Amino acid sequence: MRVMKLLFAGLLALTIASCTNAQRGDLGGLLGGGVVVNPVSSVDIYRIKNVYGATLELVIKWREYCGIPAGAPAATRSYASLMADPIAKPVCTNRRGTLLKIQKVQAKAGAAIRYADDWVRQNPNVSATSVIGPAWDAVTAFQQIVPRVN
């Protein structure tokens, strides 16, 4: 019974203190500070953007190597010559299908980065881990779909 009285007294004191703090305009008194520091910063967004940019450069180099000019419907290198090359064959097999996959995943990654960037900018005191995680996942998926020489 004594423990219950002590718990009740402590709860009552805490409630009164929070009401006093709320009247002063300090709602963070109960939380031990008031300002929540965002564990995700603009540095995290820049890291994601750097990986995304490097992957875009890799896509450009892949397109050039496989003879897929930007904006042109026809390939500059014949498919037969690419398949005869032992290095180009594993990288350039199914160029059109790979390019369509890259474009689809790249669009999702770009949208996820823009969303995360806006979220961090507009909510500096709210944790953005819930938007950074999906952005990293989208960029990683984009990075993994680009063909490479093994």
Same domain (yes/no): 29, 62: no
How many domains does the chain divide into? Answer: 2
Could you tell me which residue, 113 or 31, shows the higher pLDDT? 113
Q: What is the pLDDT of residues 54-94, one digit of tens each?
A: 999 999 999 888 888 776 555 677 788 888 988 889 898 88
Same domain (yes/no): 48, 121: yes
Is the residue at 150 inside a domain?
A: no
pLDDT at 16: 47
- In 3D space, the residue among 115, 116, 110 whose CA is nearest the CA of residue 139 turns out to be 110
pLDDT reading at 104 higher than 50: yes
- In 3D space, the residue among 50, 81, 52 whose CA is nearest the CA of residue 146 turns out to be 52
Domain enclosing residue 9, as ranges: 1-34
Say which DSSP state 13 is in: H
Same domain (yes/no): 103, 140: yes
Same domain (yes/no): 20, 66: no
* DSSP string covering 49-110: HHHHHHHHHHHHHHHHHTT--TT-SS-SS-HHHHHHSTTHHHHHTTHHHHHHHHHHHHHHHH
d(CA 104, CA 142): 9
Amino acid at 76: T
The predicted model scores a pTM of 0.67
Same domain (yes/no): 24, 97: no
- Residue 40's CB is within 10 A of a number of other CB atoms, namely 20
Q: Average per-residue pLDDT in the chain? A: 77
What are the phi and psi torsion angles at 98 (to 5°)?
-65, -40
- Residue 78's CB is within 10 A of a number of other CB atoms, namely 10
